């Protein structure tokens, strides 16, 4: 035997072939001459050495292995090295392959190759499963990945508690699993089968259902060959069992989906037709795949739970409806991000102020997630409190900057604050690094207002410069956050131009004005990857009979004149039931102006859903409620106003201050 261990070839020397017989043909089996020759000795593993030369013919360095005939396979090749010289002994060399040795080697090589293929397949799963943080899509990716590579059909079911944001099952199994079908994938010829429809809620019945065993034991189940009485233990219904049997489904396995110790659901697989049955190796491979996929599903579950928490918190902190004010009609819209991780800290607020004025505020906390939403809630609460005190927009931003710097999260935010006064049709605006507001005229022309963009809140760079602008009646002011125009493709200037073109032209109804066409998907990318707030305010001049303004003398006759004007105007407005209280209120306001404010200047009455009474003076100091002793004859005016009115307050003006009080107007009884 010439030793060729790598190729496995044996060279065996036999006797010269007898006349007319010739060498054995390739493919001949055990009865070939070479085989008979090598098997004749009957020994087990004894080697003899053949002569190097026979009758002058070189036969080469040969070793003949003498052993049982069963040790050899068929003759694969023959090499005739017959001597060209006459006389002497002719030699024949038969080339045989020892198939038993080769089969063992091939089996070892095949095992390594199969292991490598499985590893490559599992590595590929990491690229194709869990591409998003969507539960349904991740489950479908798992099912699609296994069909038809590993199975002819696959289904993924998740526990309903997982889908509702719960923790799945951490202990020992579930008594009666409640699952929801999330994904199904089958080859074409099995599409007529009837698995649980995707989205359907199912109560998994106890034994003999194999998926029940899989969930409760948290162990995989293998049915290599399905017997006729086992189909109903696999299929969701007797009809589905009959369809599975008639379709040639013959093998089944189910594996649990467990991640971080949490049971999430199960995946089951079937094979049909001439394909071989599932083996324990297939089961181990499926379980390993399920373990990897379960981590992706659990990531999607945790993300979905956090996203729902953030959305719930954010919606709870935002105003449910925009309040009605005398001079402004407001529409608003909050749009959560579609892309993962996009939910953040966008917010808005609408605060009614005295004299029919309205404060508008829009802000955006940088960052996303629960921390951004919590910061948004804090800043909105502070802003609403400050605006309720009737503080000017630039001073509100300065106070918000201090509040943002005190936050432990060290986050910054942009903010735009505006106050509209319908008496003169003006907006007073201040910006903390926010995008400019868009003014849309009644004729459909649109332009951005030039508001100095100060530093973001939390940066510590103040003051903020205000701007006062007069706007025509029926104009609309659009305030928004950057999620409306943010793009990964286009720069911000291009996006702002697109927004302006999108809103230009005939204006829709105010309730539809927040649905800006072509501007709500991140600049045309098709998916909004950041949340957005849109706030549209339409200016409305005071209607006749909503505003009454008169100057007041600055001497002691002012109180009597104010009472006379109030009585006459309220009677003309058919508000006689409010005359007595309003006379008392205006007397106290005028008296306060005479004593502490250098004398009253003007009386203003505003009628809308409430009646507002205002008295302005030239004094800079804001009034405060005094706690007078019981023996004192005065000092209780503001206490009376506080008891008789819905609310009262004061604010500074460029020439002094205004003190105001509001009363509710009774609604007429329904007929």
Query: Reading across the β-sheet that carries 426-432, which strands appear in turn?
Result: 344-352, 358-368, 413-421, 426-432, 467-470
Is 428 in a helix, a strand, or coil?
Answer: strand
Mean pLDDT of the chain: 79
What Cα–Cα distance (Å) separates residue 365 from each residue in 188, 318, 337, 466? 50, 14, 14, 21
Mean pLDDT within 413-421? 94
Q: In the predicted model, is pLDDT for residue 274 greater than 60?
A: yes
Contact (Cβ atoms closer than 8 angstroms) between residue 435 and residue 403: no
* CATH 3.10.20.600 describes domain 547-664: no
Q: In the predicted model, is pLDDT for residue 71 greater than 60?
A: no
Q: What is the CA radius of gyration of the chain?
A: 44
Mean pLDDT within 211-238? 91
Percent of the chain's residues with pLDDT above 70? 75
pLDDT for res 23: 52
Q: Which of 145, 137, 160 has the alpha carbon at shortest distance from 288? A: 145
pLDDT digits (tens, 9 = 90+) for 472-522: 888 999 999 988 888 878 888 999 999 999 898 888 888 888 876 544 444
pLDDT for res 168: 60
pLDDT for res 550: 93
C-alpha 578/C-alpha 571 separation (Å) is 9
pLDDT digits (tens, 9 = 90+) for 15-61: 454 445 555 554 444 444 444 443 333 433 344 444 444 433 444 44
Higher model confidence: residue 97 or residue 280? 280
For residue 440, how many other CB atoms are within 10 A of its CB?
23
C-alpha 632/C-alpha 76 separation (Å) is 128
Across 7-31, b (16+ Cβ under 10 Å) vs e yields eebbbbbbeebeeeeebbeeebeee
Q: Which of 226, 225, 209 has the alpha carbon at shortest distance from 217? A: 209
Higher model confidence: residue 318 or residue 9? 318
pLDDT for res 145: 95
- The CA-based diameter of the chain, rounded to the nearest angstrom, is 158
Higher model confidence: residue 121 or residue 256? 256
H or E element in which residue 128 lies: helix 99-128
Q: In the predicted model, is pLDDT for residue 647 greater than 80?
A: yes
pLDDT digits (tens, 9 = 90+) for 111-157: 566 667 878 888 888 889 988 888 889 999 999 999 999 999 999 99
Token look-up 């005094």 returns: 626
pLDDT for res 628: 65
Question: Number of C-alpha atoms within 13 angstroms, CB side, residue 192?
Answer: 10
Confidence of residue 243 (pLDDT cuts 50, 70, 90): very high
Q: In the predicted model, is pLDDT for residue 108 greater than 60?
A: no
pLDDT digits (tens, 9 = 90+) for 600-644: 999 999 888 889 999 999 888 888 777 766 665 666 778 888 899
Q: In the predicted model, is pLDDT for residue 410 greater than 80?
A: no
Q: Of 358-367, 483-492, 535-544, give the range with the top mean pLDDT.
A: 358-367
Mean pLDDT within 512-533? 63
H or E element in which residue 288 lies: helix 280-317
Contact (Cβ atoms closer than 8 angstroms) between residue 341 and residue 377: no
Length of the chain measured in residues: 671
Contact (Cβ atoms closer than 8 angstroms) between residue 192 and residue 233: no
Q: Which residue(s) pair with 96 in the sheet?
A: 10, 75
C-alpha 157/C-alpha 171 separation (Å) is 19
What are 235's two structure tokens? Answer: 């299929």
Q: What are phi and psi of 391, to 5 degrees?
A: -90, 145
For the chain, the distance separating the N- and C-terminal CA atoms, rounded to the nearest angstrom, is: 118
Q: In the predicted model, is pLDDT for residue 585 greater than 60?
A: yes
Confidence of residue 171 (pLDDT cuts 50, 70, 90): very low
Q: What are phi and psi of 344, to 5 degrees?
A: -140, -135
Higher model confidence: residue 149 or residue 337? 149
C-alpha 321/C-alpha 461 separation (Å) is 34
Percent of the chain's residues with pLDDT above 90? 36
Mean pLDDT within 212-229? 92
Higher model confidence: residue 72 or residue 440? 440
Listing DSSP states for 376-398 in one string gives HHHHHHHHHHHHHTT--HHHHHH
Q: In the predicted model, is pLDDT for residue 197 greater than 70?
A: yes
C-alpha 387/C-alpha 594 separation (Å) is 27
Q: Where are the domains of the chain?
A: 9-97, 129-307, 321-539, 547-664
321-539 CATH = 3.60.40.10
Is 8 in a helix, a strand, or coil?
Answer: coil
Range of weakest confidence among 255-269, 367-381, 474-488: 367-381
C-alpha 542/C-alpha 418 separation (Å) is 19
Q: DSSP letter at 71?
A: G
Higher model confidence: residue 100 or residue 652? 652
C-alpha 604/C-alpha 105 separation (Å) is 103
Q: In the predicted model, is pLDDT for residue 295 greater than 90?
A: yes
Query: Reading across the β-sheet that carries 249-259, which strands appear in turn?
Result: 201-203, 178-186, 153-159, 262-272, 249-259, 221-223
pTM value surpassing 0.85: no
Higher model confidence: residue 81 or residue 381? 381
Q: Are strands 46-49 and 153-159 parallel, antiparallel or unpaired?
A: unpaired
Is 73 in a helix, a strand, or coil?
Answer: coil
Angle at 422 between CA 391 and CA 454, to 5 degrees: 45
C-alpha 480/C-alpha 493 separation (Å) is 15
Q: In the predicted model, is pLDDT for residue 69 greater than 50?
A: no
The secondary structure of the chain in percent helix, strand, coil, rounded to multiples of 5, reads 30, 25, 40
Query: Reading across the β-sheet that carries 92-97, which strands appear in turn?
Result: 9-14, 92-97, 75-79
C-alpha 594/C-alpha 634 separation (Å) is 14
Mean pLDDT within 364-375? 82
For 655, counting Cβ atoms within 10 Å of its Cβ (0-12 exposed, 13-18 middle, 19+ buried), the class is exposed
Confidence of residue 166 (pLDDT cuts 50, 70, 90): low
Contact (Cβ atoms closer than 8 angstroms) between residue 656 and residue 597: yes
Q: Which of 300, 305, 232, 297 has the alpha carbon at shortest distance from 267? A: 297
Q: Which residue(s) pair with 659 in the sheet?
A: 615, 650
Confidence of residue 253 (pLDDT cuts 50, 70, 90): very high
Confidence of residue 540 (pLDDT cuts 50, 70, 90): confident
Confidence of residue 167 (pLDDT cuts 50, 70, 90): low
* CATH 2.30.40.10 describes domain 129-307: no
Residues 6+ apart with CB under 8 A from 556: 594
């Amino acid at each position: 035997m010439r030793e060729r261990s790598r190729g496995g070839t044996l060279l065996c020397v036999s006797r010269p072939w007898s006349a007319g017989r010739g060498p054995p043909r390739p493919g001949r089996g055990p009865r070939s001459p070479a085989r008979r020759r090598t098997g004749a000795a009957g020994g087990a593993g004894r080697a003899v050495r053949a002569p190097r030369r026979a009758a002058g013919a070189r036969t080469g360095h040969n070793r003949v292995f003498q052993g049982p005939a069963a040790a050899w396979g068929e003759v694969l090749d023959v090499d005739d090295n017959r001597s060209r010289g006459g006389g002497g002994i002719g030699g024949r060399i038969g080339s045989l392959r020892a198939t038993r040795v080769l089969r063992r080697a091939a089996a070892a090589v095949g095992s390594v190759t199969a292991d490598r293929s499985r590893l490559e397949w599992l590595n590929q799963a990491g690229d194709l499963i869990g591409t998003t943080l969507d539960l349904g899509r991740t489950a479908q990716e798992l099912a699609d990945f296994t069909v038809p590579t590993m199975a002819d059909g696959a289904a993924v079911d998740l526990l309903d508690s997982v889908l509702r944001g719960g923790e799945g099952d951490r202990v020992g199994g579930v008594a009666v699993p409640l699952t929801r079908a999330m994904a199904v994938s089958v080859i074409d010829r099995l599409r007529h089968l009837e698995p649980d429809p995707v989205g359907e809620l199912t109560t998994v019945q106890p034994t003999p259902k194999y998926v029940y065993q899989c969930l409760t034991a948290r162990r995989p189940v293998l049915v290599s060959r399905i017997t006729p009485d086992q189909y109903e233990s696999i299929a969701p219904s007797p009809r589905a069992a009959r369809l599975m049997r008639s379709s040639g489904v013959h093998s089944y396995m189910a594996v649990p989906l467990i991640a971080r110790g949490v049971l999430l659901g199960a995946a089951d697989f079937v094979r049909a037709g001439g394909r071989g049955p599932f083996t324990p190796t297939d089961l181990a491979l499926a379980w390993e795949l399920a373990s990897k996929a379960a981590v992706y599903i659990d990531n999607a579950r945790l993300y979905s739970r956090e996203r729902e928490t953030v959305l719930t918190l954010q919606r709870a902190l935002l105003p449910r409806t925009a309040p009605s004010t005398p001079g402004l009609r407001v529409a608003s819209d909050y749009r959560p991000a579609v892309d993962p991780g996009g939910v953040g800290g966008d917010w808005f607020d609408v605060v009614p102020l005295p004299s029919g004025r309205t404060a508008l505020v829009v802000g955006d906390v940088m960052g996303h997630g629960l921390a951004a939403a919590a910061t948004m809630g804090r800043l909105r609460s502070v802003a609403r409190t400050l605006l309720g005190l009737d503080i000017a927009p630039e001073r509100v931003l300065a106070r918000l900057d201090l509040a943002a710097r005190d936050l432990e999260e060290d986050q910054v935010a942009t903010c735009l604050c505006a106050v509209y006064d319908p008496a003169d049709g003006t907006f007073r605006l201040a910006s903390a690094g926010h995008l400019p507001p868009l003014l849309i005229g009644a004729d459909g022309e649109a332009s951005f207002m030039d508001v100095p963009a100060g530093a973001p809140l939390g940066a510590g760079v103040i003051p903020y410069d205000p701007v006062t602008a007069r706007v025509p009646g029926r104009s609309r002011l659009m305030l928004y956050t950057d999620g409306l125009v943010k793009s990964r493709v286009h720069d911000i200037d291009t996006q702002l131009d697109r927004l302006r073109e999108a809103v230009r032209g005939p204006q829709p109804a105010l309730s539809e004005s927040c649905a800006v066409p072509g501007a709500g998907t991140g600049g045309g990318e098709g998916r909004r990857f950041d949340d957005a707030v849109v706030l549209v305010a339409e200016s409305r001049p005071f209607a006749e009979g909503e505003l009454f303004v008169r100057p007041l003398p600055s001497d002691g006759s002012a109180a009597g004149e104010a009472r006379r004007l109030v009585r006459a105007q309220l009677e003309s407005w058919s508000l006689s039931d409010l005359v007595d209280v309003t006379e008392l209120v205006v007397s106290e306001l005028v008296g306060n102006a005479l004593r502490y404010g250098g004398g009253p200047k003007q009386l203003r009455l505003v009628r809308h859903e409430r009646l507002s009474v205002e008295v302005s003076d030239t004094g800079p100091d804001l009034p405060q409620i005094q706690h007078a002793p019981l023996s004192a004859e005065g000092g209780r005016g503001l206490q009376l106003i506080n008891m008789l009115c819905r609310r009262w307050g004061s604010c500074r003006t460029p020439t002094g201050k205004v003190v105001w009080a509001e009363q509710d107007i009774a609604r007429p009884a329904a007929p």
